[in-house]
Structure 1
Amino acid sequence: MSDLLEQELLVRSFHPEHFSDSSKSLSGENTYQVIRRNGSVTDFNPAKIKTALTKAFLAAEGETASGSHRVHDIIDDMTQQVSSVLLRRAAPGHTLQIEDIQDQVELALMRSEHHKVARAYVLYREDRARERAKVEGRKKKKKGNQPNLNVKNADGTLAPLDFDRLATVIDEACANLEGVSADPVFEETKRNLYDGVSVAELALAPIMAARTFVEREPNYAFVSARLLLDKLRYEALSFLSDRPDQATQSEMQDRYATYFPAALKAGIDAGLIDPELARFDLKKISAAIKPDRDLNFQYLGLQTLYDRYFLHIKGTRFELPQAFFMRVAMGLAIREVNREDKAIEFYDQLSSFVFMASTPTLFNSGTCRPQLSSCFLTTVPDDLEGIFKSIRDNALLAKYSGGLGNDWTPVRGLGAHIKGTNGESQGVVPFLKVANDTAIAVNQGGKRKGAVCAYLETWHIDIEEFLDLRKNTGDDRRRTHDMNTANWVPDLFMERVVNDGSWTLFSPDDTPDLHDLYGNAFKAAYEAYEDKTVAGQITNFKTIRAVDLWRRMLTMLFETGHPWITFKDPCNIRSPQQHRGVVHSSNLCTEITLNTSHDEVAVCNLGSVNLAAHVTEKGIDHAKLAKTVKTAMRMLDNVVDINFYTIPEARYSNLRHRPVGLGLMGFQDALQTMKIAYASQAAIEFADESMEAIAYHAIAASVDLAAERGRYESFEGSLWSRGILPIDSLDLLAKTRSEFNVDRSTRLDWETLRERVKTVGMRNSNTMAIAPTATISNICGVSQSIEPAYRNLFVKSNMSGDFTVVNAALVRDLKARDIWDEVMISDLKYYDGSVGQIDRIPDDLKELYATAFELDSSWLIEAAARRQKWLDQAQSLNLYIANPSGKKLDDLYRLAWQRGLKTTYYLRSSAATHVEKSTLKGTDGKLNAVSTSPSAIIPQSPKPAPASTASSAPTAAPATVAASSPSPIPGQATDAISPGQAWGKACLLDDPECEACQ
């Protein structure tokens, strides 16, 4: 592309009409202007876009492109597309930037799969950028020699723009970060400024400038966050002082101590913060705040906090990050005897990211309505009053950020007799429609959408209609497009599937005890009811082939992402609380397994250990982990007493049983720190070791709390009281299954702890659950929960916007091998963040950084099985399939059942979670042009996974289903999905509307 200028005459002869002024035809009157790099302004002219595109095609394809009608049409279409996008998104005053236009051209080339042309265009832009940098260097401008620009204040007055302060803030943001420089951020910021720029635009300019460099150097994510901090400081300090007030990060070292009490008072006066917090020793509390921890955020984490977590008055944030964490910590310590010391202890954990409380706790701790619990599970009764009370309860529980799991199995099915009206029931589906609409209406104060998951047992006569709830076709009055759904599957059904037996569907008014039975008792009762159908004693039933229903369950899971597959028997047989009730469902995210009844609404309080913060290259730091878990369990137990309960059934249940759910996040980061590939036996062993350590310390901490505060009320008769710990309950499950082979090895002194549990007791009926951590992992800057990396370079969407995400560990390793450059960035974009097909990357790094769709999901199940043996609840386990087929789905979910998993979560297919090609530069935030929303999904056949050892199945998980096993996709072969197969609306990875429990 070095002789592009010499090709100008050829370009003109190729398409002379490209140089006509067509901007008016595209935009009406030509009121759009372009700010050039030197600050001058010119009219927007689409003809120049055509010129750029033509040059790129000529450079990539040579002179053969000049006579091609195909290329001519492509360029015309792209020009129209780019122009339309630019004019639709033009800034206030109808101004555009040269770089923005070029970004859109590059984006159009990538989206249209013209990767060779796009590559030439990228390289040309980089060459030009280097030339400009050399020219700028030769000019040797002095720092003080800046243009004379003014800033427009909120009252309309003008003041000189302080370039010295701007440079200081940028210098601070770049300090002590490897691979970043303040100079390009400063220059990029200046390029976006103009005379009369508003205060808000001035605050945003350096943030946007820094974000353009993230894809080249991940540490610019920290730079962007620190520049956002400057914006936040101005907003908060000005609000509290009723005048414009700014402070740099270094100045906040002294100001935090005076700022925090003022922020606390403002929140109390506004009715947002509990006045009890003002009665703490605020001098001691303020002195414990560590301002430097503000610098630990990456941009995505801080922007998420800014948008959704920090307290505000009429949209103006007055909480800075360390004030936020201290407010949360004080709220959790509010009933402690030595509450200042405990608040500081809690603050240290939260602000250092070694542990993070769940989203409801972060939202509401220390406020006047401290609803801190994450999950609520309910059972819906079979009467009209009870059904609508349950829907009302959903609304009240969701109002303050609770996620909901509803057990709908008791509600009689379609065609059942209604004694009161002598009519026939319309079944459970119409009521599910009402529950669906209620969840949408209650949107948790605008912080996140209300979310609910409906559970139905596989023997319910409405199960076939239940499977169709998320379809986009059929009677919309019998569809729930926004509600999650899950199958509650008994072991007997899975046995019938394996043996190709029949399966009978019943209405629960005819078989009322099946709802409360499991294991051998369920089998005996179910078979007795089947005998009654033969004898004519039950008439409202349907008999089908079990494998046909199983195939339909998997088909719907594949096509719509729902209903999820969860297993009733292991949830109950291994439940510590089986002496006090039955687990009738899981929760919104399938990690909670607690008893529910008409009198009790189960409640769970969640938080997650950041595993990445507790490992080194040599392995787990057990002393640090023990300290973290001990403090975390105390915080979670405090939630039970502090909590604001919106319905009495929730309060009654939570105070009796005191369940909590300690989980983990950053599992993938921990593996990469230790150089362990996810698809390896070593990773399975680490899953076992790390979960055993967390389980040991969590149970020990609950025993310590019991010694200090007393056992939970319903302890006697529990598995705990009988000395049966989660690892021991595997034997109970094994007794009900003919084949059950799960590793039982241990590393720690469980015998001593077992005796302490029996003699001292437990403070909490349940202690562990691994939630998705969809949002709090962003705050901490680590990988989500137990998830493998989705991509190594992609655009992440959530309610705060779209953000460039780069795997910093990969970048560090590529730099160490001296292969991190513009070409590598371009290749990562081309392969959707996958390293498997990039020849320059060594095989060991390909294995270490294999992405979710490059892994055989049986590795995920084997690792999950090792965790499950330690968990008294469950785990949110997503499964990934790059090239789905009926046989693969069948194998995968049968393996999950055989390995004793209690639940599974989303099934994700690569096509349904595909991220569009993007330049990424300048595409972060709410102005992003790249979308991963359902409307952006285009059905397509997925790329084949690279040939790598990472994609091989673990030897520990042999295939258990014969090759002739039927496909769940009717009319398709067992080994392939046709290229044109529609992928449905399977849940997107990091779906902004799927914030889950955390």
Structure 2
Amino acid sequence: GRKERVQFDKITARVSRLCYGLDPDHVDPAAITMKTISGVYQGVTTIQLDDLAAETAAYMTVTHPDYAILAARIAVSNLHKQTKKQWSSVISDLYHYVNPRTGKPAPMISDETYNTVMKHADELNSAIVYDRDFNYQYFGFKTLERSYLLRIDGKVAERPQHMIMRVAVGIHGEDIEAAIETYNLMSNKYFTHASPTLFMAGTPAAQLASCFLIDMKDDSIDGIYDTLKTCAMISKNAGGIGLNVHRIRATGSYIGGTNGTSNGLVPMLRVYNNTARYVDQGGNKRPGAFAIYLEPWHADVFAFLDLRKNHGKEEVRARDLFYALWVPDLFMKRVEENGTWTLMCPNECPGLADVYGEEFEALYEKYEKEGKGRETVRAQKLWYAILEAQTETGNPFICYKDAANRKSNQKNLGTIRSSNLCTEIMEYTAPDEVAVCNLASLALPTFVDIQNETYDFKKLHEVTKVVTRNLNKIININAYPVPQASKSNFRHRPIGLGVSGLADAFLALRMPFDSPEARKLNIQIFETMYHAALESSCEIAAELGPYETYPGSPVSKGELQYDMWGVTPTDLWDWDSLKAKIAQHGVRNSLLLAPMPTASTSQIMGFNECFEPYTSNIYSRRVLAGEFQVVNPWLLKDLVDRDLWSDNMKNRIIAEGGSVQRIPNIPDDLKALYKTVWEISQRQIVQMAADRGAFIDQSQSLNIHMKEPTMGKITSMHFTGWKLGLKTGMYYLRTMAASAP
């Protein structure tokens, strides 16, 4: 391009144009220009200048929250400068892409999507509102730019609005009205589809599902390597995996074919570990991720608990896998009464993984009486080994096998043998069925009516119904990585609705996370979502029929999730008439709610993750310009409004590790609102999980945070969750030392 001198006023004018609606007392365009110009070098491009200005503004966010908005505006307008405005011509460029190395066509858009867009170009182009790109915060926008927006020869070609419309048309195809409805709700931040859907919708061979659950095909070389290939195929297509290994024979078990003995789980899991490293999800978008589930009666359980530890011999470690225990009630009872626990080999004591509840207990105790176990240990010895692994590595995750099965709408299919990578999906698997879940999350803060200080349950209900319909369409159009996955998904049609920004919704309504008002709102949000999802699923069933394996399920007998928990809903929604409708038409989906971690998508939206409290009120972010502090935007606004914000205050909060509890001039009402997760009783967190659990027919990714974990504290937390009936007792154990801000 042309060369020109860097002009101070020109940059200031450009930045000033983007300051509309921001606080003029606190946001100073000239200050940004000054700092930007200090980073200028010979031959810098205007694009690089904009990048620099955006980072500078982001850097200044700690002085006032409006800088975060300005940073995003500079970055977005920079992208707008470099990309085409007209969506249909962007789609055309992506579709007609030719690989420069081979000279062969390499379309990035599917034929169907391309044809739909060309046919309805005017209507779709004019539905897009580019100003909505300016509603992203800087880090959310940078996340989109880094991983989600499609590129041509390494250069970003899509704008965020283009991506959202691609997802909408990718899901709805020729149903233009539904596509535009989805576009509007997503671009106004009412909800988002899951990362794989955002990455792949509208592209050739679009694998849009997030999670896969796999049953080990068979305890044989064929079975183990067939299953490994299935894992590789799924991982290649951007899916996270939950795999159960309860039925793999233990170390020293006899192998008939070779007259030898088995090496047990550890060497096999090392092979799986290397596959996870080799096959990342969708070519470097995320590393491959497998969670391995084991029941604690398995004779290799002690070695299993050591696999992620940092020290120890390399050949008995597999540190790239995640580990989870699938815990029967009997084990918890034996720990509680300080009884004994018998370790068994599934080859010598078959069938334990295929039964739950009383049937499991009868079979297990029968094997014990017959002396078939390998060794008997004190139950608490194994318990302490579990806690030690959790304290050191955050794993194993804990899921309760009996609660997951007893309170499952899939219990007519057989015993559920594991959850998924993030412990929120509870679905039936079999050697010929790989369970799948398509996810989306509702952005809870968007439904707060700030004017009236109320929560708009009606709108939440409405949007949940739209998302339920979307996920049903995704089941139909998804490109499944293996045939066992499409078989399972078409038979049972499970979906997973989650949330992001529960903590932000509480803050918007001025409710401390651990207040009675927050506890009630938490329940009513999940009641609303469960009611809406069931109603929507029932309406689809009225049109297309219920899912194939519906007959015999609890819902087919009029039994909903809260009935299985023995909970009565509040009077917010009419459940009786819904049950009557379901009795008439059935439902289209076996499972509906599964609050997932929302790690990337909540960052894009600019909200806190899923249903978690804030972990800190200040944390560091690294960008090219260096490392800088990001302050909880709600707190920053409150402190600025009350004239309490200064450099001194910022440094005080940093010195306190992100806590405001011990800072004298912060008023008590703010201290109550801004307790971090380390300062909220975990009993309260577990109680809120159980409260919402009565309306969650799958499960939830429940992290537990403990500043200084002790065996006593972790034990009491696990037993509280178990007795409250949680299906997921714990996803990660997060400890303070491991995650200082």
- The TM-score by the shorter chain falls in which range? over 0.9
> How far apart, CA to CA, are the structure 2 residues paired with 1:167 and 1:486?
54
**C-alpha contact 1:614 1:620 (8 A) present in aligned 2:** yes
Identify which of 308, 321, 345 aligns with 1:507. Answer: 345
> How far apart, CA to CA, are the structure 2 residues paired with 1:799 and 1:651?
43
> How far apart, CA to CA, are the structure 1 residues paired with 2:72 and 2:643?
28
Residue aligning to 1:641: 476
Aligned-pair CA distance for 1:619? 2.9
Pair 1:570 & 2:417 matched:
no
Residue aligning to 2:112: 276
Unaligned runs of 5+ in 2: 98-106
Pair 1:406 & 2:243 matched:
yes
What SS class does the counterpart of residue 728 from structure 1 fall into? helix
Residue aligning to 2:199: 363
Residue aligning to 2:88: 261
Residue aligning to 2:151: 312
Letter in 2 for 1:787: E
- 544-553 or 367-376, larger mean C-alpha shift: 544-553
**Cα distance per residue 1:925-980 (max 9 Å; x no partner):** xxxxxxxxxxxxxxxxxxxxxxxxxxxxxxxxxxxxxxxxxxxxxxxxxxxxxxxx
Pair 1:701 & 2:536 matched:
yes
Residue aligning to 1:523: 361
> How far apart, CA to CA, are the structure 2 residues paired with 1:341 and 1:748?
28
Pair 1:752 & 2:568 matched:
no
Aligned-pair CA distance for 1:562? 1.0
Letter in 2 for 1:272: M
Identify which of 114, 130, 133 aligns with 1:291. Answer: 130
Identify which of 175, 190, 193 aligns with 2:20. Answer: 175
Residue aligning to 2:102: none
Aligned-pair CA distance for 1:205? 1.9
Aligned-pair CA distance for 1:195? 4.3
**C-alpha contact 2:267 2:316 (8 A) present in aligned 1:** yes
What SS class does the counterpart of residue 318 from structure 2 fall into? coil
Letter in 1 for 2:198: L
Letter in 1 for 2:515: S
What SS class does the counterpart of residue 18 from structure 2 fall into? helix
After superposition, the CA RMSD in angstroms is 1.8
Aligned-pair CA distance for 1:745? 5.5
Aligned-pair CA distance for 1:382? 0.8
**Cα distance per residue 1:458-497 (max 9 Å; x no partner):** 1111111111111122221221111110011001111111
> How far apart, CA to CA, are the structure 1 residues paired with 2:46 and 2:37?
14
Residue aligning to 2:417: 584
Q: Equivalent residues in 2 for 1:386-785 (5 A)? A: 386-444=223-281, 445-533=283-371, 538=372, 541-616=374-449, 618-731=453-566, 747-785=572-610
Letter in 1 for 2:66: N
Q: Bigger relative contact order, structure 1 or 2, given CA contacts below 8 A and separation 6+? A: 2
- 486-495 or 194-203, larger mean C-alpha shift: 194-203
> How far apart, CA to CA, are the structure 2 residues paired with 1:161 and 1:493?
71
**Cα distance per residue 1:719-770 (max 9 Å; x no partner):** 1100100001124xxxxxxxxxx77656422111112122211111100000
Residue aligning to 2:735: 909
> How far apart, CA to CA, are the structure 2 residues paired with 1:401 and 1:696?
31
Letter in 1 for 2:241: L
> How far apart, CA to CA, are the structure 1 residues paired with 2:245 and 2:733?
23
> How far apart, CA to CA, are the structure 1 residues paired with 2:601 and 2:558?
34
Aligned-pair CA distance for 1:783? 0.7
Aligned-pair CA distance for 1:627? 1.6
Aligned-pair CA distance for 1:802? 6.6
What SS class does the counterpart of residue 252 from structure 2 fall into? strand
> How far apart, CA to CA, are the structure 1 residues paired with 2:75 and 2:272?
39
Q: Equivalent residues in 2 for 1:80-99 (5 A)? A: none
Residue aligning to 1:225: 72
**Cα distance per residue 1:637-662 (max 9 Å; x no partner):** 11101101110000100011110000
What SS class does the counterpart of residue 261 from structure 2 fall into? strand
Aligned-pair CA distance for 1:172? 3.0
What SS class does the counterpart of residue 880 from structure 1 fall into? strand
What SS class does the counterpart of residue 727 from structure 1 fall into? helix
Q: How many residues are treated as equivalent by the alignment?
A: 722
> How far apart, CA to CA, are the structure 2 residues paired with 1:163 and 1:370?
47
Residue aligning to 1:847: 672
Residue aligning to 1:351: 187
> How far apart, CA to CA, are the structure 1 residues paired with 2:90 and 2:337?
65
Pair 1:817 & 2:642 matched:
yes
**C-alpha contact 1:406 1:455 (8 A) present in aligned 2:** yes
What SS class does the counterpart of residue 445 from structure 2 fall into? helix
CA shift in 2, pair 1:369/1:847, >3 Å: same
**Cα distance per residue 1:702-729 (max 9 Å; x no partner):** 1111122221111111111001000011
**C-alpha contact 2:432 2:484 (8 A) present in aligned 1:** yes
What SS class does the counterpart of residue 555 from structure 2 fall into? coil
Pair 1:342 & 2:169 matched:
no
Letter in 2 for 1:477: E
**C-alpha contact 1:304 1:800 (8 A) present in aligned 2:** no
**C-alpha contact 1:683 1:863 (8 A) present in aligned 2:** no
What SS class does the counterpart of residue 504 from structure 1 fall into? strand
> How far apart, CA to CA, are the structure 2 residues paired with 1:675 and 1:717?
45
> How far apart, CA to CA, are the structure 2 residues paired with 1:579 and 1:866?
25
Structure 1 vs Structure 2: percent identity of aligned residues? 38
**Cα distance per residue 1:401-457 (max 9 Å; x no partner):** 111000111111111110001111100111111111111111221111111100000
> How far apart, CA to CA, are the structure 1 residues paired with 2:686 and 2:570?
18
Aligned-pair CA distance for 1:801? 9.9
Pair 1:792 & 2:617 matched:
yes
**C-alpha contact 2:64 2:640 (8 A) present in aligned 1:** no
Aligned-pair CA distance for 1:283? 0.6
**C-alpha contact 1:218 1:807 (8 A) present in aligned 2:** no
Under a length normalisation based on structure 2, what TM-score does the superposition of the two structures give?
0.95
CA shift in 2, pair 1:448/1:464, >3 Å: same
**C-alpha contact 2:527 2:569 (8 A) present in aligned 1:** no
What SS class does the counterpart of residue 562 from structure 2 fall into? coil
> How far apart, CA to CA, are the structure 2 residues paired with 1:623 and 1:746?
14
> How far apart, CA to CA, are the structure 1 residues paired with 2:449 and 2:50?
38
Aligned-pair CA distance for 1:294? 0.8
Q: Equivalent residues in 2 for 1:317-328 (5 A)? A: 317-328=156-167
**Cα distance per residue 1:821-842 (max 9 Å; x no partner):** 2211111111121111111101
> How far apart, CA to CA, are the structure 2 residues paired with 1:433 and 1:901?
31
**Cα distance per residue 1:780-825 (max 9 Å; x no partner):** 1111001110111111479999764321111222223221122111
> How far apart, CA to CA, are the structure 1 residues paired with 2:641 and 2:547?
53
**C-alpha contact 1:595 1:602 (8 A) present in aligned 2:** yes
What SS class does the counterpart of residue 158 from structure 1 fall into? coil
> How far apart, CA to CA, are the structure 2 residues paired with 1:613 and 1:200?
33
> How far apart, CA to CA, are the structure 2 residues paired with 1:756 and 1:797?
53
> How far apart, CA to CA, are the structure 1 residues paired with 2:268 and 2:108?
36
**C-alpha contact 2:64 2:637 (8 A) present in aligned 1:** no
**C-alpha contact 1:307 1:800 (8 A) present in aligned 2:** no
